[in-house]
Chains A and B, each alone.
Chain A
Amino acid sequence: GAVVSQHPSWVICKSGTSVKIECRSLDFQATTMFWYRQFPKQSLMLMATSNEGSKATYEQGVEKDKFLINHASLTLSTLTVTSAHPEDSSFYICSVRQGSTEAFFGQGTRLTVV
């Protein structure tokens, strides 16, 4: 299966600052990556689909100017939380898939905004 590396695994930042999360597909070229957010004791909510070389597709209710996604290469997608606020504190996790098969997930990033 695919190996997905996500970095950092946790981060604490001050309100108003921006945080960048990286998601790397280590062993295959991923034209598409998916970003999810998970609040405590809740399920994963799809935020956006990251497409290599083009704009990301955001789910309804997800602010594209706040959650900037860049998929500049076939192995790297980044999610930048801009002007973070305490309500953005959450567990962010990326995944890749090879066609219509299982998804492989990164380890996740726990973001705490203070």
Chain B
Amino acid sequence: SQQGEEDPQALSIQEGENATMNCSYKTSINNLQWYRQNSGRGLVHLILIRSNEREKHSGRLRVTLDTSKKSSSLLITASRAADTASYFCATEAQAGTALIFGKGTTLSVSS
């Protein structure tokens, strides 16, 4: 099962620019997480935001959560070529249950 949509599906930017990815989900959540996946590899956790939080920062990452709109955004500032990857949001409906992933955004950062 999949929770919802992410947009854009693909994003191409230049190094130094900011990248914003959006995620929408359908059901109520306990928390929402963002992951990164380099081509053909496992996933790496980026950031977790709980349902009672509205914004969270980690280094060049900024995540917002709007539970009334059932949406989240991931902002990567001052992007680098090494940020090129696929980014997925994942939601946890109840504590400890399986994460359900969105469709993902493929980010390409050119130097």
Contacts and interface: CB of A to CB of B under 8 A. Distances in A.
A34 interface: yes
A93 B101 contact: no
A60 interface: yes
Interface in B78-99: 88, 90, 92, 95-99
B48 A102 contact: yes
A42 interface: yes
A102 B33 contact: yes
Contact of B43 (A49, A59, A105): A105
Given A32-B96, A43-B104, A102-B33, A107 B42 contact: yes
A46 interface: yes
A60 B33 CA distance: 23
Contacts of A45: 1-2, 101
Interface of A: 1, 6, 32, 34, 36, 41-46, 49, 59-60, 91, 93, 95, 97, 99-108, 110
Q: Which 7 A-B pairs have the closest CB atoms?
A: A100-B95, A102-B45, A105-B42, A44-B101, A105-B43, A43-B101, A43-B103
A100 B65 CA distance: 17
Contacts of A93: 42-43
B99 to A, nearest CB: 6
Given A46-B101, A101-B48, A102-B48, 14 more contacts: A1-B45, A6-B42, A34-B98, A41-B106, A43-B102, A43-B103, A44-B101, A45-B101, A93-B43, A99-B96, A102-B33, A103-B33, A103-B90, A104-B45
15 contacts: A41-B106, A42-B103, A46-B1, A46-B99, A49-B97, A60-B1, A93-B42, A97-B99, A100-B31, A100-B95, A103-B43, A103-B90, A104-B45, A105-B44, A106-B42
A107 B95 CA distance: 24
B62 to A, nearest CB: 18
Contacts of B102: 43
B1 A34 contact: no
